[in-house]
């Protein structure tokens, strides 16, 4: 897809490639950013978008992000070989505190902190209740209770204010906010293709045109 190559071109030198290489092989990332490995590129961009949105949400509601723990590796336990380097045993929290090192947050602690933040914010509590009703299929996403929910509008307004604050403070933030806009357009295009929505397809293409021209994909410019 040409638009995926456009995203890779516009985000060149931003650190996106190194970020994706934490998940994908370097050779695969090169193909993803050039628009060749479409399925991997879409998955990778959606992963990065999720992380950026989590950071923005954390800054908006002053909610700590959960620590990353490989539960599968922990369940399997260490596998030692004869030639493996001996790894020293993990230090206890008491020993770390004595050295002035803060211990990493555990999953249950993060859950408790997030629950505290949610319960302290009535807007988030209302949104969480609405989400639970939708997942239990007690509500449809097309009902007025969801589409015209004032709490969701308030959350969106708060997120937009945080983005605007970041936009005004840093040029780097402006670049990554533009990246989020590119992924939003990509999402709309994929939705149009999978649902057969022709009008949404045309709207998505219209939003792509300025970025395609900026990336040098001149074949897509209108005469």
Task: Let me know the angle formed at the C-alpha of 172 by 169 and 175, rounded to the nearest 5 degrees.
Answer: 110
| Residue 77's pLDDT band (cuts 50, 70, 90) | very low
Residue 91 lies in a domain: no
pLDDT band at 50 (very low <50, low <70, confident <90, very high): very high
What are 175-204's pLDDT values in tens digits? 999 999 999 999 999 999 999 999 999 999
CB burial class (10 A; 0-12, 13-18, 19+) of residue 146? middle
pLDDT higher than 90, residue 216: no
Q: How confident is the model at residue 218 (pLDDT cuts 50, 70, 90)?
A: confident
Does 51 reside within a domain? yes
Could you read off the pLDDT of 136-178 as tens digits, one per residue? 888 777 776 777 888 889 999 999 999 999 999 999 999 999 9
Of 71-75, 171-175, 216-220, the range with the lowest mean pLDDT is: 71-75
Residue 94 has pLDDT above 90, yes or no: no
Residue 98 maps to a domain: no
**80 domain residue, yes or no:** no
| CB atoms inside a 10 Å sphere around CB 3 | 22
Helix (H, G, I), strand (E, B) or coil at 223: coil
Q: What local confidence, expressed as pLDDT, does residue 165 receive?
A: 96
- Higher-confidence position of 101 and 16: 16
Q: Is residue 121 part of a domain?
A: yes
Mean pLDDT of 84-111: 45
Which alpha helices (H) appear in 62-142, and where do they start and end? 71-76, 93-98, 107-120, 122-135
Q: Which domain holds residue 131?
A: 2-65+106-218
Hunting for tokens 């045109």 — which residue is that? 209
Residue 114 confidence class, pLDDT cut points 50, 70, 90 = low
Which pLDDT score, from 0 to 100, does residue 88 have? 44
Predicted model pTM:
0.74
Q: Quick check: is 158 in a domain?
A: yes
Residue 72 lies inside a defined structural domain of this protein: no
Domain count, the chain: 1
- 184 versus 218: the higher-pLDDT residue is 184
Give domain status of residue 70, yes or no: no
């Amino acid at each position: 897809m040409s638009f995926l190559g456009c995203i890779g071109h516009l985000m060149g030198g931003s650190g996106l490639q190194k970020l994706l290489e934490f998940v994908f092989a370097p050779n695969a990332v090169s193909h993803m950013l050039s628009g060749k490995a479409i399925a991997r590129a879409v998955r990778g961009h959606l992963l990065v978008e999720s992380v950026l949105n989590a950071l923005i949400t954390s800054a908006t509601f002053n909610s700590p992000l959960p620590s990353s723990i490989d539960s599968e590796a922990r369940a399997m336990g260490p596998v030692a070989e004869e030639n493996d380097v001996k790894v020293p045993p993990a230090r206890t929290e008491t020993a770390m505190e004595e050295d002035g090192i803060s211990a990493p947050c555990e999953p249950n602690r993060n859950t408790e902190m997030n629950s505290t933040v949610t319960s302290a914010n009535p807007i988030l509590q209302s949104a969480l209740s609405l989400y639970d009703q939708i997942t239990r299929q007690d509500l449809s996403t097309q009902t007025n209770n969801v589409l015209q929910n004032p709490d969701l509008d308030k959350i969106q307004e708060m997120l937009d204010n945080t983005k605007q604050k970041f936009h005004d403070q840093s040029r780097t933030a402006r670049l990554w906010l533009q990246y989020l806009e590119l992924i939003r357009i990509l999402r709309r295009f994929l939705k149009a293709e999978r649902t057969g929505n022709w009008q949404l397809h045309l709207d998505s293409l219209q939003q792509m045109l300025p970025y395609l021209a900026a990336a040098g994909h001149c074949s897509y410019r209108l005469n």
